[in-house]
Chains A and B, each alone.
Chain A
Amino acid sequence: EVQLVESGGGLVQPGGSLRLSCAASGFTFSTSWLNWVRQAPGKGLEWVANIKPDGSDEYYVDSVRGRFTISRDNAKNSLYLQMNSLRAEDTAVYYCARGDRWSFSYWGQGTLVTVS
C-alpha cells in the first residue's frame, strides 16, 4: 500500500523558515517523481514544486522560486521542502504527492503551515 506521511508543519512568523518532510513507503521511491502541492484555507490546489527521481532537477511555481527548495533522500525514502522567507500567503496545507502518468497518483494527508 502506498503511503505518504507529511510532517514539520506549524506556526511561523513572517520571514521565518520551516522544513517539511514526507516519508514514503509502498512504492519504488527512487524511480518516482515527487511533488509538493498546497491548498490555502478554503481555497483551491496549487502545485508548488517537483523533483526528478535522481534529484538532478527541480522545478518550482514562480511564487516560491528562490525561497523554497525541494530535495529528496532516496536512501531514506524521504522528500523535503525547505521554506525560507515565509509570507502570509504561504499559509496552506502542504501535500506531498507521487508523480505518475503525468498526474499526481497518490497524496499524503497534508501538513498545515501557518505564517502569522
Chain B
Amino acid sequence: QSALTQPASVSGSPGQSITISCTGTSSDVGGYNYVSWYQQHPRKAPKLIIYEVSDRPSGISNRFSGSKSGNTASLTISGLQAEDEADYYCCSYTSSISWVFGGGTKLTVL
C-alpha cells in the first residue's frame, strides 16, 4: 500500500487560508468516505482534527474544514494563526482492510 501524496510544505500569512491536498486511489481515498486529518506539533502526539472527510471532533475550531473529490481529499485552514504551524497528515481506510497515511505536510505561518 503506497502512502497518500501530500505536498511537502505549504505556507501562508496570518489571517489567510491555505489548502493541503491528499491524493490516493480508488482503493483508498476515492473508495471510502473514511479520510481523516491529524495535526502534529513538534515532539507531540498527533491530534485528530477531521474525520470522515469533513466532520470535526468536539473542540476543534471551525477554521478547519475537509472535503473530497474523486481520489483527492483536501484540508482547508482559514484565518491562519501562529499556533496552526505544525505538520499535517491525511489518512484513509483502504480496500486491504488497512490504513494508509500521507507523507505529511509542514505548514509554516509566515
Residues in chain A within 8 A of chain B (CB atoms): 35, 37, 44-47, 50, 59-62, 95, 101-110
Contact = CB atoms under 8 A, between A and B. Distances in A.
Given A47-B99, A59-B97, A103 B45 contact: no
A109 B34 contact: no
B104 A45 contact: yes
Q: Report the interface size class on chain B.
A: 20 to 34
Contacts of B97: 59
A44 B103 contact: yes
A104 B38 contact: yes
Contact of B98 (A47, A95, A102, A109): A47
Interface of B: 1, 3, 32, 34, 36, 38, 40, 45-48, 51-52, 55, 57, 89, 91, 93, 97-104
A95 B51 CA distance: 19
A23 B57 CA distance: 23
Contact of A45 (B38, B48, B93): B38
Given A44-B102, A110-B45, A103 B89 contact: no
